[in-house]
Structure 1
Amino acid sequence: MSDSVYITVGIPFYNAEKYLEDAICSVIAQTHKKWELILLNDGSNDKSLDIAVKYSLVDKRIRVISDGVNKKLPNRLNQIIQESNYDFIARMDADDLMSNDRLEKQLKILKNNKEIDFVTTGCLTIGKDNELTGVSEGRDYQMSAANILEGVTNILHASLLARKNWYIRNQYNETIVQAEDFDLWLQAAKNNDLNYIVIKDPLYWYRVVENVTIEKIVNGYNAQIEIINNNYDGVIFYISKYKIIKKFKIKKVIVKSLDTMGLLKILLKRRSNRYNKEQLDYYNDHFTKIQSVRVQG
């Protein structure tokens, strides 16, 4: 790839020693080589920071920022925007992976569509031992504020590649944790500033098994309910708001019941479809490349 455009990749991390190295290698293995990687420590007390520093010492494109404080994800995402040196910013979570050509394909779309502010992708789902567990292809349509309030989204937050100037106009509400992306899409849509494309291809690999916990699900639903209550006026009617919130409350009851019965894993299966042999071969080929750039020691 000879493209001269640089991208800032931001990975905030908190106690991610089990998966952070592979996430870093996932960036190093990209076909698009013009990038800086900001590894932003959110007060980890495991070996995550040591891993980040190890890679920064062998690759000058990698920068580690650590202040020893746990400020939570929305704060750190805003910090990455402030620290970024380039006009395109890519999101990634510390326990996930991505295909080798993710940045190349997303950047091409942004360059060819000047009116578009960001690009997201479909995803593969992976398990705790990097095994492929499913696939969820991206669906390309534009959400309205009313769509977002209903709680159904086609945007995979962690796969975002956005123009920096859009991020400057649309920063995260640092008081909202667990639903910061839901609020971001909603506020942007209300301001007529939500213009994006979703790539069907599963370029991002989401570690669902580590992210689906009863605490995260319930806290996420509670945060969404609060956001809906604070933002429905002028977007949807009160009766619609009432129905949407009732739906979220029912979801909370369901997930709590599943958790009590030890069946929360059912939600994992519902989040993705069965993968085929072609997708498995694709995953294995790209994962082999990721593993090949690991630093020894």
Structure 2
Amino acid sequence: MKSLLPEVTIGIPFYNAELTLLDAVKSVFAQSHQNWELILLDDGSTDRSLELARSIRDSRVRVYSDGRNCRLAARLNQIAELASSDYIARMDADDLISPKRIERQLEVLIARPEIDLVSTGICSLTGNDEPIGVRGVPDSHVISARALLLGSSGIVHASLLGKRDWFLRNRYREDIRTGQDANLWVRAFAKNDLLVGFIEDPLYYYREDGNVVSKKLINAYGEVMRTIVRDSGSSFSLADKSYSYILTFLKIFVVRVLNVFGSLTILRDRRSGAFLGSKDKEKLIEEIQYIKNIDLPTFLD
């Protein structure tokens, strides 16, 4: 089936990611499915990120830079416009992806033509790239309206692979600085245009460090509350909207309390997911090492 799978555009927006960008690109080159183009989209970096991106010598890699800092939502909309493939996969510049990720997601999308997007599970990494846990929803997971309003859809934003047409007709709100994904899911669901498949296996390696901080969490929860009021519309019941709004408000209170007592590690540990057994951890470590040992064709010494 591999030879029948279509080309996919993989988009990586980046901003000051010189320490991690090439590892992210290595995980693209490590894919079992090699029929891809890679769009590296600079968001006004001030470090060596753009230089590193431009050093890659491969006709499948395209680098774009306009010198502006437009933030993530605008760059994700731009990737959909620039893509030459009918399918788009995205990832963040400080993460890694499993060598089987693109192949597995394309297989699901082709086998289930009624869906537009495929999400995967996550392997959480420390800053030293040590796997510390996995999380994901079952392949049979069904998204509920209330879960969407709570920002708990089960969709792993950075792991998505989907149809380009979907991203063109469902654009990110560029006036939102955080929680653009949760907002988009609510707006798409409201017009009956959120059909998602799931792969429970952890095909996306996510660096958790620096993401569980009080300011980020409070801002994200605040955006969830604004989305409920502003964008949910009549497709969501008043009961679901009221419940989700109140519970999200309580989450902000909990974050503030935990932050005062220096206990945000509780949330970080919870996000890391299920404990890894020694065999599973060893397998993930081997895969990460394989990715990082990939030789990129670059102009660098």
TM-score by length of 2: 0.93
For residues 147 and 158 of structure 1, the distance between their equivalents in structure 2, rounded to whole angstroms, comes to 19
Unaligned runs of 5+ residues in structure 1 are none
For residues 115 and 248 of structure 1, the distance between their equivalents in structure 2, rounded to whole angstroms, comes to 32
Residues 44-85 of structure 1, C-alpha deviation per residue, up to 9 Å, x if partnerless? Answer: 111111221122xx2221111111111011100000000000
Structure 1 residue 76 and structure 2 residue 79: aligned? Answer: no
Asked if structure 2 preserves the Cα contact closer than 8 Å seen for 1:41 and 1:66, the reply is: yes
Structure 1 residue 64 and structure 2 residue 63: aligned? Answer: yes
Asked if structure 1 preserves the Cα contact closer than 8 Å seen for 2:118 and 2:162, the reply is: yes
For residues 240 and 189 of structure 1, the distance between their equivalents in structure 2, rounded to whole angstroms, comes to 14
Superposition pairs for residues 139-288 of structure 1, below 5 Å? Answer: 139=138, 140-238=140-238, 240-271=240-271, 272-288=273-289
For residues 240 and 113 of structure 1, the distance between their equivalents in structure 2, rounded to whole angstroms, comes to 30
1:53 is aligned to 54
Shift in Å, 1:211: 2.0
Asked if structure 2 preserves the Cα contact closer than 8 Å seen for 1:39 and 1:65, the reply is: yes
2:28 is aligned to 27
Shift in Å, 1:30: 0.5
Of 120-129 and 45-54, deviating more is 45-54
RMSD of equivalent CA atoms: 1.6
Residue 138 of structure 1 aligns to a residue whose secondary structure is coil
Unaligned runs of 5+ residues in structure 2 are none
Asked if structure 2 preserves the Cα contact closer than 8 Å seen for 1:9 and 1:37, the reply is: yes
2:84 is aligned to 85
For residues 87 and 263 of structure 2, the distance between their equivalents in structure 1, rounded to whole angstroms, comes to 41
Superposition pairs for residues 118-137 of structure 1, below 5 Å? Answer: 118-137=117-136
Change (3 A) 1:240 1:287: closer
**Alignment size in residue pairs:** 295
Shift in Å, 1:110: 0.9
For residues 53 and 155 of structure 2, the distance between their equivalents in structure 1, rounded to whole angstroms, comes to 28
